Amino acid sequence: MKVSFEGISKKYKGKWALKDFSSNLEYGIYGLLGENGAGKTTLINIFVGILKSDQGRVLINGSDVKNIGIDFLSHIGYLPQYPQFYKEFTVLEFLKYMSVLKDIPKEQGEKRAKELLSMVNLSEAKDMKVGALSGGMRQRVGIAQAMLNDPDILILDEPTAGLDPQERIRFRNLITKFSKNRIVLLATHIVSDIEHVANQVILLKKGELLKQGSPRELTDEIKGKVWSITVTDDSLEEMLHLKISSMMRDDQGIHLRVIADKKPADHAVHVKPNLEDVFLYYSSEGEKW
Ligand SMILES: Nc1ncnc2c1ncn2[C@@H]1O[C@H](COP(=O)(O)OP(=O)(O)OP(=O)(O)O)[C@@H](O)[C@H]1O
Protein backbone atom coordinates (compact mmCIF):
# COMPACT_ATOMS: atom_id res chain seq x y z
CA MET A 1 0.00 0.00 0.00
CA LYS A 2 1.33 3.40 -0.95
CA VAL A 3 -0.30 6.79 -0.62
CA SER A 4 1.21 9.67 -2.56
CA PHE A 5 0.31 13.30 -2.13
CA GLU A 6 1.41 15.18 -5.21
CA GLY A 7 1.61 18.96 -5.04
CA ILE A 8 -1.55 19.51 -3.00
CA SER A 9 -2.51 23.14 -2.65
CA LYS A 10 -5.54 24.81 -1.12
CA LYS A 11 -6.31 28.47 -0.60
CA TYR A 12 -8.99 30.03 1.56
CA LYS A 13 -9.83 33.60 0.67
CA GLY A 14 -6.46 34.17 -0.94
CA LYS A 15 -4.50 32.59 1.93
CA TRP A 16 -2.67 29.30 1.55
CA ALA A 17 -3.92 26.59 3.89
CA LEU A 18 -1.75 24.07 2.03
CA LYS A 19 0.94 24.88 -0.47
CA ASP A 20 2.42 22.35 -2.85
CA PHE A 21 2.39 19.55 -0.32
CA SER A 22 4.00 16.32 -1.52
CA SER A 23 4.73 13.22 0.50
CA ASN A 24 4.75 9.46 0.22
CA LEU A 25 3.31 7.16 2.85
CA GLU A 26 3.96 3.45 2.97
CA TYR A 27 3.42 1.08 5.88
CA GLY A 28 3.56 2.38 9.42
CA ILE A 29 2.42 5.20 11.64
CA TYR A 30 2.83 8.71 10.24
CA GLY A 31 2.58 11.55 12.71
CA LEU A 32 1.35 14.70 11.01
CA LEU A 33 2.67 17.37 13.31
CA GLY A 34 2.09 21.08 13.12
CA GLU A 35 0.93 23.91 15.26
CA ASN A 36 -2.66 25.20 15.20
CA GLY A 37 -3.60 26.30 11.70
CA ALA A 38 -0.66 24.51 10.02
CA GLY A 39 -3.01 22.76 7.59
CA LYS A 40 -3.34 19.26 9.09
CA THR A 41 -7.13 19.07 8.94
CA THR A 42 -7.17 20.60 5.46
CA LEU A 43 -4.81 17.88 4.23
CA ILE A 44 -6.87 15.14 5.86
CA ASN A 45 -10.14 16.53 4.51
CA ILE A 46 -8.67 16.57 1.02
CA PHE A 47 -7.43 13.02 1.49
CA VAL A 48 -10.82 11.66 2.57
CA GLY A 49 -12.67 13.61 -0.12
CA ILE A 50 -14.54 16.07 2.11
CA LEU A 51 -12.65 18.94 0.53
CA LYS A 52 -11.39 19.57 -3.00
CA SER A 53 -7.82 20.72 -3.47
CA ASP A 54 -7.14 23.63 -5.82
CA GLN A 55 -4.16 21.76 -7.23
CA GLY A 56 -2.52 18.39 -6.91
CA ARG A 57 -3.75 14.87 -6.47
CA VAL A 58 -3.77 11.97 -4.06
CA LEU A 59 -2.76 8.56 -5.37
CA ILE A 60 -3.26 5.17 -3.80
CA ASN A 61 -0.98 2.55 -5.27
CA GLY A 62 -0.58 4.86 -8.25
CA SER A 63 -4.31 5.44 -8.89
CA ASP A 64 -5.90 8.83 -8.37
CA VAL A 65 -8.43 8.50 -5.53
CA LYS A 66 -10.93 10.40 -7.67
CA ASN A 67 -10.94 7.46 -10.06
CA ILE A 68 -11.15 4.80 -7.36
CA GLY A 69 -14.60 6.09 -6.38
CA ILE A 70 -16.67 4.47 -3.67
CA ASP A 71 -14.30 1.51 -3.31
CA PHE A 72 -11.80 3.94 -1.80
CA LEU A 73 -14.00 4.30 1.27
CA SER A 74 -13.81 0.60 2.05
CA HIS A 75 -10.04 1.01 2.45
CA ILE A 76 -10.11 3.89 4.88
CA GLY A 77 -11.12 4.52 8.46
CA TYR A 78 -11.50 8.10 9.53
CA LEU A 79 -11.88 9.92 12.82
CA PRO A 80 -12.69 13.59 12.23
CA GLN A 81 -11.39 16.32 14.50
CA TYR A 82 -14.91 17.02 15.78
CA PRO A 83 -16.85 13.79 15.39
CA GLN A 84 -20.62 14.00 15.50
CA PHE A 85 -22.56 11.25 17.22
CA TYR A 86 -26.18 10.22 17.44
CA LYS A 87 -26.60 10.92 21.11
CA GLU A 88 -29.74 8.84 21.62
CA PHE A 89 -28.04 5.62 20.48
CA THR A 90 -26.32 3.40 22.96
CA VAL A 91 -22.62 2.91 22.31
CA LEU A 92 -23.15 -0.55 20.84
CA GLU A 93 -26.14 0.57 18.76
CA PHE A 94 -24.07 3.41 17.36
CA LEU A 95 -21.24 1.11 16.33
CA LYS A 96 -23.68 -1.37 14.80
CA TYR A 97 -25.30 1.47 12.89
CA MET A 98 -21.90 2.65 11.63
CA SER A 99 -21.14 -0.93 10.54
CA VAL A 100 -24.27 -0.91 8.40
CA LEU A 101 -23.20 2.38 6.82
CA LYS A 102 -19.82 0.83 6.10
CA ASP A 103 -21.52 -2.14 4.43
CA ILE A 104 -20.23 -4.62 6.95
CA PRO A 105 -22.41 -7.77 7.25
CA LYS A 106 -24.60 -7.57 10.40
CA GLU A 107 -23.11 -10.36 12.51
CA GLN A 108 -19.57 -9.46 11.57
CA GLY A 109 -20.28 -5.81 12.43
CA GLU A 110 -21.57 -6.67 15.89
CA LYS A 111 -18.66 -8.97 16.60
CA ARG A 112 -16.15 -6.37 15.48
CA ALA A 113 -17.93 -3.63 17.46
CA LYS A 114 -17.65 -5.67 20.65
CA GLU A 115 -14.00 -6.49 19.98
CA LEU A 116 -13.20 -2.82 19.46
CA LEU A 117 -15.12 -1.76 22.55
CA SER A 118 -12.92 -4.07 24.53
CA MET A 119 -9.80 -2.65 22.85
CA VAL A 120 -10.76 0.91 23.72
CA ASN A 121 -11.79 -0.12 27.23
CA LEU A 122 -15.48 0.62 26.79
CA SER A 123 -17.08 -2.83 27.06
CA GLU A 124 -18.79 -1.84 30.26
CA ALA A 125 -20.22 1.28 28.68
CA LYS A 126 -21.75 -0.52 25.70
CA ASP A 127 -25.33 0.09 26.86
CA MET A 128 -24.80 3.71 27.85
CA LYS A 129 -26.31 6.42 25.69
CA VAL A 130 -23.65 8.15 23.62
CA GLY A 131 -24.99 11.50 24.85
CA ALA A 132 -24.22 10.48 28.44
CA LEU A 133 -20.55 9.67 27.84
CA SER A 134 -17.67 11.84 28.96
CA GLY A 135 -15.66 13.62 26.25
CA GLY A 136 -12.82 11.12 26.48
CA MET A 137 -15.19 8.15 26.31
CA ARG A 138 -16.88 9.63 23.26
CA GLN A 139 -13.50 10.09 21.61
CA ARG A 140 -12.80 6.40 22.18
CA VAL A 141 -16.11 5.50 20.53
CA GLY A 142 -14.91 7.60 17.59
CA ILE A 143 -11.63 5.72 17.46
CA ALA A 144 -13.52 2.40 17.53
CA GLN A 145 -15.87 3.44 14.70
CA ALA A 146 -12.88 4.42 12.54
CA MET A 147 -11.50 0.89 12.88
CA LEU A 148 -14.76 -1.02 12.27
CA ASN A 149 -14.05 -1.89 8.66
CA ASP A 150 -10.49 -3.00 9.44
CA PRO A 151 -9.16 -0.30 7.12
CA ASP A 152 -5.86 -0.45 5.25
CA ILE A 153 -5.50 3.25 5.89
CA LEU A 154 -6.52 4.74 9.22
CA ILE A 155 -6.75 8.51 9.40
CA LEU A 156 -7.09 10.13 12.80
CA ASP A 157 -7.44 13.87 13.31
CA GLU A 158 -6.43 14.81 16.86
CA PRO A 159 -7.43 11.38 18.22
CA THR A 160 -6.25 11.88 21.78
CA ALA A 161 -8.20 15.06 22.47
CA GLY A 162 -9.82 14.55 25.86
CA LEU A 163 -8.11 11.26 26.70
CA ASP A 164 -6.56 10.88 30.14
CA PRO A 165 -2.91 9.71 30.40
CA GLN A 166 -3.82 6.05 30.85
CA GLU A 167 -6.13 6.09 27.85
CA ARG A 168 -3.50 7.87 25.77
CA ILE A 169 -1.12 5.01 26.48
CA ARG A 170 -3.79 2.44 25.68
CA PHE A 171 -4.52 4.31 22.44
CA ARG A 172 -0.85 4.38 21.43
CA ASN A 173 -0.54 0.65 22.04
CA LEU A 174 -3.73 0.01 20.10
CA ILE A 175 -2.62 1.85 16.98
CA THR A 176 0.87 0.37 17.15
CA LYS A 177 -0.64 -3.12 17.05
CA PHE A 178 -3.09 -2.05 14.38
CA SER A 179 -0.45 -0.47 12.14
CA LYS A 180 1.10 -3.76 11.00
CA ASN A 181 0.85 -3.82 7.19
CA ARG A 182 -1.29 -0.68 7.25
CA ILE A 183 -0.93 3.06 7.05
CA VAL A 184 -1.95 5.13 10.05
CA LEU A 185 -1.96 8.89 9.57
CA LEU A 186 -2.31 10.69 12.87
CA ALA A 187 -2.63 14.46 12.97
CA THR A 188 -1.76 16.20 16.19
CA HIS A 189 0.02 19.12 17.76
CA ILE A 190 0.77 17.03 20.83
CA VAL A 191 4.30 15.74 20.36
CA SER A 192 4.05 13.00 22.98
CA ASP A 193 1.20 11.40 21.01
CA ILE A 194 3.61 10.38 18.30
CA GLU A 195 7.12 10.60 19.71
CA HIS A 196 7.33 6.93 20.67
CA VAL A 197 5.03 5.39 18.09
CA ALA A 198 5.47 7.19 14.77
CA ASN A 199 7.71 5.57 12.20
CA GLN A 200 7.73 8.84 10.31
CA VAL A 201 6.96 12.38 11.32
CA ILE A 202 5.63 14.88 8.80
CA LEU A 203 6.26 18.40 10.02
CA LEU A 204 3.88 20.90 8.57
CA LYS A 205 4.34 24.61 8.88
CA LYS A 206 1.94 27.20 7.54
CA GLY A 207 0.66 24.76 4.94
CA GLU A 208 4.07 23.63 3.75
CA LEU A 209 6.02 20.47 4.33
CA LEU A 210 8.96 21.43 6.50
CA LYS A 211 10.48 18.01 7.20
CA GLN A 212 9.65 14.35 6.89
CA GLY A 213 11.68 11.67 8.59
CA SER A 214 11.82 9.19 11.43
CA PRO A 215 11.86 10.71 14.92
CA ARG A 216 15.52 9.63 15.12
CA GLU A 217 16.41 11.40 11.86
CA LEU A 218 14.70 14.58 12.97
CA THR A 219 16.29 14.61 16.40
CA ASP A 220 19.71 13.82 14.89
CA GLU A 221 19.40 16.91 12.72
CA ILE A 222 19.37 19.16 15.78
CA LYS A 223 22.07 17.31 17.69
CA GLY A 224 24.30 19.80 19.50
CA LYS A 225 21.55 22.42 19.66
CA VAL A 226 19.85 21.43 22.89
CA TRP A 227 21.42 22.50 26.16
CA SER A 228 20.93 22.22 29.86
CA ILE A 229 21.70 25.18 32.08
CA THR A 230 21.25 25.43 35.82
CA VAL A 231 20.63 28.92 37.13
CA THR A 232 19.65 30.64 40.34
CA ASP A 233 16.56 32.79 40.79
CA ASP A 234 18.79 35.86 40.49
CA SER A 235 20.30 34.84 37.14
CA LEU A 236 17.09 33.44 35.66
CA GLU A 237 15.97 36.78 34.28
CA GLU A 238 18.96 37.07 31.93
CA MET A 239 18.20 33.66 30.40
CA LEU A 240 14.59 34.37 29.55
CA HIS A 241 15.38 35.68 26.06
CA LEU A 242 16.48 32.13 25.14
CA LYS A 243 14.20 29.47 23.65
CA ILE A 244 13.41 27.45 26.74
CA SER A 245 11.64 24.15 26.24
CA SER A 246 11.36 23.27 29.91
CA MET A 247 12.17 24.59 33.33
CA MET A 248 12.44 22.59 36.51
CA ARG A 249 13.25 23.70 40.02
CA ASP A 250 14.93 21.57 42.68
CA ASP A 251 17.29 22.23 45.56
CA GLN A 252 20.24 22.64 43.14
CA GLY A 253 18.58 25.57 41.37
CA ILE A 254 16.47 26.01 38.25
CA HIS A 255 17.27 23.63 35.39
CA LEU A 256 16.57 25.06 31.95
CA ARG A 257 16.39 23.08 28.74
CA VAL A 258 17.39 25.49 26.01
CA ILE A 259 17.32 25.29 22.21
CA ALA A 260 20.14 27.31 20.66
CA ASP A 261 22.52 26.99 17.71
CA LYS A 262 25.42 28.29 19.81
CA LYS A 263 26.38 27.63 23.42
CA PRO A 264 24.00 29.92 25.30
CA ALA A 265 26.08 30.20 28.53
CA ASP A 266 29.54 29.17 29.74
CA HIS A 267 28.20 26.42 31.97
CA ALA A 268 25.67 25.08 29.42
CA VAL A 269 26.01 21.37 28.60
CA HIS A 270 24.63 19.41 25.68
CA VAL A 271 21.62 17.18 26.18
CA LYS A 272 20.07 14.65 23.82
CA PRO A 273 17.35 16.22 21.67
CA ASN A 274 13.82 14.88 21.69
CA LEU A 275 10.97 15.45 19.27
CA GLU A 276 9.53 18.29 21.30
CA ASP A 277 12.87 20.07 20.92
CA VAL A 278 12.62 19.54 17.15
CA PHE A 279 9.15 21.06 17.13
CA LEU A 280 10.34 24.00 19.17
CA TYR A 281 13.56 24.37 17.18
CA TYR A 282 11.67 24.99 13.97
CA SER A 283 8.90 26.97 15.60
CA SER A 284 11.54 29.03 17.32
CA GLU A 285 13.16 30.13 14.08
CA GLY A 286 10.91 33.15 13.95
CA GLU A 287 10.16 33.42 10.27
CA LYS A 288 10.42 29.69 9.70
CA TRP A 289 7.24 28.75 11.51
N1 LIG B 1 -13.36 26.90 5.98
C2 LIG B 1 -12.32 27.72 6.12
N3 LIG B 1 -12.39 29.00 5.71
C4 LIG B 1 -11.34 29.84 5.80
N5 LIG B 1 -10.13 29.48 6.29
C6 LIG B 1 -9.99 28.21 6.71
C7 LIG B 1 -11.07 27.27 6.65
N8 LIG B 1 -10.62 26.07 7.13
C9 LIG B 1 -9.34 26.28 7.48
N10 LIG B 1 -8.96 27.54 7.24
C11 LIG B 1 -7.61 28.11 7.47
O12 LIG B 1 -6.67 27.24 6.87
C13 LIG B 1 -5.51 27.12 7.68
C14 LIG B 1 -5.27 25.65 8.01
O15 LIG B 1 -6.33 25.21 8.85
P16 LIG B 1 -6.41 23.69 9.37
O17 LIG B 1 -7.70 23.56 10.12
O18 LIG B 1 -6.16 22.79 8.23
O19 LIG B 1 -5.18 23.64 10.38
P20 LIG B 1 -4.82 22.54 11.48
O21 LIG B 1 -3.35 22.30 11.36
O22 LIG B 1 -5.73 21.38 11.37
O23 LIG B 1 -5.10 23.35 12.82
P24 LIG B 1 -5.61 22.82 14.28
O25 LIG B 1 -4.45 22.15 14.93
O26 LIG B 1 -5.94 24.12 14.97
O27 LIG B 1 -6.80 21.95 14.06
C28 LIG B 1 -5.75 28.00 8.89
O29 LIG B 1 -5.14 29.24 8.65
C30 LIG B 1 -7.25 28.14 8.95
O31 LIG B 1 -7.62 29.36 9.54
- Compute φ and ψ for 264, nearest 5 degrees: -80, -15
CA–centroid distance, residue 206 to ligand 1 (Å): 10
- Let me know whether 174 and 197 are in one domain: yes
Q: Is the CB of 12 under 6 A from ligand 1?
A: yes
Hey, whose CA ends up nearest to atom 3 of ligand 1?
A: 12
Are 225 and 191 in a shared domain? no
Structural domain for 240, as ranges: 220-288
Residue that finishes a domain, picked among 186, 214, 242: 214
Domain count, the chain: 2
Q: Is the CB of 189 under 6 A from ligand 1?
A: yes
Domain boundary among 184, 214, 244: 214
Same domain, 236 and 203: no
85 alpha carbon to ligand 1 midpoint, in Å?
22
Q: Are residues 198 and 233 in the same domain?
A: no
Rounded Cα distance between 23 and 71, Å, is 23
Task: Compute, in angstroms, the gap from residue 41 CA to the centroid of ligand 1.
Answer: 7
Query: Can you give the pLDDT at residue 163?
Result: 85
Q: How far is CA 265 from the centre of its chain?
A: 35
Average pLDDT across each block of 10 residues of the chain; the chain has 289 residues. List them in order: 96 95 96 93 94 95 85 87 88 94 91 94 94 90 93 93 87 90 93 91 95 96 96 90 91 94 93 94 55
Looking at the fold, whether 191 and 69 belong to one and the same domain comes out as yes
First to last CA, the chain: 32
Ligand 1 atom closest to the Cα of residue 189 is 25
User: What pLDDT is stored for residue 28 in this prediction?
Assistant: 95
Task: Verify that 153 and 237 share a domain, yes or no.
Answer: no
Examine the domain organization and report whether 187 and 284 are in the same domain.
no
Q: Are residues 186 and 238 in the same domain?
A: no
Kindly state whether residues 143 and 14 are assigned to the same domain: yes
55 and 96 share one domain? yes
Angstrom CA distances, 77 to 48, 102, 154, stand at: 9, 10, 5
CATH assignment at residue 141:
3.40.50.300
- Does residue 40 line the site of ligand 1, with CB under 6 A? yes
Assess whether 185 and 204 both reside in one domain: yes
ipTM tops the 0.90 cut: yes
Last residue of a domain, one of 214, 241, 268: 214
Q: What is the pLDDT of residue 272?
A: 96
Positions of E strands within 26-167: 28-33, 55-60, 63-64, 76-79, 153-157
CB neighbours (10 Å) of residue 166? Answer: 9
Q: For residue 5, give the 3-state DSSP assignment.
A: strand
Is the domain of 167 the same as that of 239?
Answer: no
